[in-house]
């Protein structure tokens, strides 16, 4: 059997199947509450690994998750996160030798989590990232072009001309020109097409799509600071008036480099013999 793009876990049992067998409180019964309140001791520094693959609102702080897992679970346990968000708990569980299963109603959360907890062969992932950038090279604008357009955008006629080959890859977003400059819409459409058409395994495509999605907000007109909501703030308007350089290509290159490095670091640090996965679902249905 040939080697696949992923590093296969040493056990075929999924965390979801193990949780079903153990019941809602695990094999050892319900974890007792601590007697009274006490401070939680946790490390102030930690390895970033792939925790910052995607900026997600209200992220769990990794050292806090690690301390809680050490306090209330043992190596070999299965951890359930019914509101997994971007997968911080599942990543930390993998590092500590706990299999894990996550659920979230947000399909983006599920996609980000699974992109984080899969283990990829770094050389293949890097090769596919490089091929993606090579496929995009004919459509790449120069850094000087973006500098020259710090105060300007494409005309409507030029936008229509450039968008022709990739029009089907532009999502139907109400008032899209409020949120994105015209040339950014063009660039993102070419990137989305390249990810969709790249010849690679589906897990690798899902990873690259997650990296692509991670840059969208940073190249939009939305303020990147208030992650709980989208808003074209007065702060962003002042930046645009002063001449804000928006370079989607440079942003993608940087994001891909960091993401591949993070995936490689996670694969090296995660314990062998543990599994992790996330699925879409409603936490209120788990008891059914």
Tell me the whole-structure pTM to 2 decimals: 0.84
Identify whether 10 is part of a domain: no
Identify whether 147 is part of a domain: yes
What's residue 27's pLDDT?
A: 41
Task: Look at residue 271 and tell me whether its pLDDT is greater than 80.
Answer: yes
Task: Give the relative orientation of helices 62-72 and 88-95 as an angle to the nearest 10 degrees.
Answer: 60
Domain identity same for 129 and 258: yes
Of 118, 81, 286, 95, the residue nearest 206 (C-alpha)? 118
Identify whether 4 is part of a domain: no
As a whole number, mean pLDDT of residues 235-261 equals 93
Confidence of residue 58 (pLDDT cuts 50, 70, 90): confident
| For the chain, percent of residues with pLDDT exceeding 70 | 85
What CATH code is carried by the domain that includes residue 46?
3.40.50.150
Identify whether 211 is part of a domain: yes
Identify whether 5 is part of a domain: no
Domain of residue 236: give its range: 122-262
Domain identity same for 193 and 216: yes
Task: Look at residue 186 and tell me whether its pLDDT is greater than 60.
Answer: yes
Answer yes or no: are the C-beta atoms of 11 and 272 closer than 8 Å: no
Least confident residue range of 19-23, 207-211, 238-242, 256-260? 19-23
What's residue 64's pLDDT?
A: 92
Number of domains in the chain: 2
Identify whether 198 is part of a domain: yes
Of 218, 187, 193, the residue nearest 205 (C-alpha)? 193
Mean residue pLDDT across the chain: 87
Least confident residue range of 16-25, 63-72, 246-255? 16-25
**CA distance readout (Å), 141 to 125, 145, 146:** 25, 6, 7
Pairing between β-strand 99-104 and β-strand 78-81 as defined by DSSP bridges: parallel
Domain identity same for 165 and 80: no
Confidence of residue 60 (pLDDT cuts 50, 70, 90): confident
Identify whether 25 is part of a domain: yes
Task: Look at residue 36 and tell me whether its pLDDT is greater than 70.
Answer: no
Domain identity same for 36 and 62: yes
Query: Where does residue 232 fall: left (phi above 0), alpha (psi -120 to 50 degrees), or beta otherwise?
Result: beta
């Amino acid at each position: 059997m040939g080697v696949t793009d992923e590093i296969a876990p040493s056990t075929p049992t999924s965390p979801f199947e193990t949780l079903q067998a153990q019941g809602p409180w695990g094999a050892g019964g319900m974890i007792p509450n601590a007697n009274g309140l006490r401070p939680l001791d946790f490390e102030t520094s930690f390895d970033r690994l792939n925790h910052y693959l995607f900026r997600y609102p209200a992220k769990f702080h990794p050292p806090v998750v690690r301390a809680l897992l050490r306090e209330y679970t043992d190596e070999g346990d299965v951890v359930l996160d019914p509101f997994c968000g971007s997968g911080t708990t599942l990543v930390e569980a993998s590092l500590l030798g706990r299999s894990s299963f996550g659920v979230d109603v947000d399909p983006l959360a599920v996609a980000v989590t699974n992109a984080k907890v899969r283990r990829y062969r770094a050389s293949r992932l890097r090769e596919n990232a490089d091929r993606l950038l090579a496929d995009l090279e004919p459509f790449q604008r120069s850094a000087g072009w973006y500098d020259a357009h710090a105060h300007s955008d494409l005309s409507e006629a030029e936008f229509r001309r450039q968008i022709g080959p990739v029009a089907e890859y532009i999502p139907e977003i109400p008032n899209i020109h409020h949120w994105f400059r015209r040339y950014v819409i063009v660039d993102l459409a070419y990137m989305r097409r390249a990810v969709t058409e790249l010849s690679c395994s589906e897990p690798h495509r899902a990873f690259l799509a997650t990296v692509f999605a991670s840059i969208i907000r940073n190249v939009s007109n939305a303020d990147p600071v208030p992650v709980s909501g989208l808003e074209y703030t007065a702060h962003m308007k002042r930046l645009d008036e002063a001449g804000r350089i928006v370079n989607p290509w440079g942003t993608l290159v940087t994001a891909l480099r960091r993401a591949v490095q993070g995936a490689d670091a996670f694969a090296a640090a995660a314990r062998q013999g543990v599994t992790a996965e996330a699925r879409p679902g409603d936490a209120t249905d788990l008891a059914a």
